């Protein structure tokens, strides 16, 4: 029986594959990589692609900073190479506290303020009591410390003692993800607007309130959706609400 050859069929590319050298979201190049590994600022790397069609890719990223002995230390470089800012600070998380404690302590030594949540404060200090935890953390470098307590507000510690701000009760609560970052934006944004007055106790207390205000708005919607329509009048109205519930 005569067998006819099968007609030539062009191989269809798997929609999850990317042709070599095709740009992916503005990033040129591509090698096979596993999914779910974070993007790093050096050489061929693995990264999480949000689009299911971009699951395997080779990406070349040109480093911005000189790669240290341990590449994770690149995120912990103290700000010594630039001109000393008027106020320096930031936040941290359990990953850095547990995995890179020594490098973190070097960085904290150069900071004026630290924003941290209550569980991270206990982890960093080794103290369950937040007041004792604050004393230990402030001895590490940052003289201004804000411990965020989620729905219960935040506590500011400084040479003047401490100041506690409660949480505000929301009519709508959808997702608290990102509230800590929004707190940082409100806190730092207010201090930046005060310029030379940023170290005063009054300005710091107000900055914590603005941090709580911005964090509370974040919880009302998913992601940044609430900030797409947020107005300055709404921000000030909630700030005044905080003042009203803390006045006696």
How would DSSP label each residue in 55-87? -S--EEE--SS---SSGGGGGG--TTSSPPPSS
Determine the 3-state secondary structure of 97 from DSSP. Answer: helix
> Average of pLDDT values for 198-207?
86
> Average of pLDDT values for 16-39?
41
Determine the 3-state secondary structure of 147 from DSSP. Answer: strand
pLDDT of the residue at 79: 54
pLDDT in tens, 102-153: 989 998 998 999 999 999 999 999 999 999 999 999 999 999 999 999 989 9
pLDDT in tens, 62-111: 444 444 555 555 555 555 555 667 788 888 889 989 988 998 999 899 89
Percent of the residues in the chain that have a pLDDT greater than 70, as a whole number: 65
Whether 117 and 150 have beta carbons less than 8 Å apart is answered as yes
Look at residue 187 and tell me whether its pLDDT is greater than 90.
yes
139 versus 24: the higher-pLDDT residue is: 139
pLDDT of the residue at 248: 82
Give the range among 49-58, 75-84, 165-174, 204-213 with minimum mean pLDDT. Answer: 49-58
Answering whether pTM is above 0.75, one says no
Question: Predicted confidence band at 223 (pLDDT cuts at 50, 70, 90)?
Answer: confident
Could you tell me the fold of the domain covering 71-77+85-246? 3.40.1190
Give the range among 21-35, 82-96, 174-188 with minimum mean pLDDT. Answer: 21-35
Please state the domain extents for the chain: 12-64, 71-77+85-246
165 versus 37: the higher-pLDDT residue is: 165
pLDDT mean across residues, the chain: 76
pLDDT of the residue at 14: 47
From the CB of residue 122, how many other CB atoms can be counted at a distance below 10 Å? Answer: 17
pLDDT of the residue at 66: 47
pLDDT of the residue at 33: 39
Q: From CA 73, how far away is CA 62, in angstroms rounded?
A: 17
Winning range, highest mean pLDDT, from 23-32, 56-65, 233-242: 233-242
How would DSSP label each residue in 165-216? EPPPPPS-----TTHHHHHHHHHHHHHHHHGGGGGSHHHHHHHHHHHHHHHH
């Amino acid at each position: 029986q005569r067998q006819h050859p099968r007609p030539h069929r062009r191989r269809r590319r798997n929609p999850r594959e990317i042709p070599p050298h095709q740009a992916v979201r503005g990033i040129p190049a591509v090698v096979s990589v596993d999914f779910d590994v974070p993007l790093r600022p050096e050489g061929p790397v693995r990264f999480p692609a949000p689009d299911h069609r971009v699951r395997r890719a080779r990406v070349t990223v040109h480093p911005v900073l000189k790669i240290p002995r341990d590449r994770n230390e690149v995120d912990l470089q103290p700000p010594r190479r630039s001109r000393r800012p008027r106020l320096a600070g930031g936040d941290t998380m359990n990953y850095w506290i547990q995995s890179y404690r020594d490098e973190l302590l070097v960085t904290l030594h150069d900071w004026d303020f630290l924003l941290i949540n209550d569980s991270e404060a206990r982890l960093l200090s080794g103290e369950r009591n937040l007041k004792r935890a604050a004393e230990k953390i402030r001895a590490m470098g940052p003289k201004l410390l804000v411990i965020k307590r989620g729905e219960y507000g935040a506590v500011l510690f400084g040479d003047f003692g401490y100041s506690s701000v409660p949480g505000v009760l929301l009519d709508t609560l959808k997702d608290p993800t990102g509230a800590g970052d929004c707190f940082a934006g409100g806190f730092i944004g207010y201090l930046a607007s005060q310029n030379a007055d940023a170290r005063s106790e009054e300005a710091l207390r107000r900055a914590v309130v603005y941090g709580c205000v911005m964090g509370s708005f974040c919880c009302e919607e998913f992601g940044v959706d609430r900030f797409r329509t947020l107005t300055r009048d709404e921000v000030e109205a909630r700030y005044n609400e905080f003042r009203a519930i803390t006045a006696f």
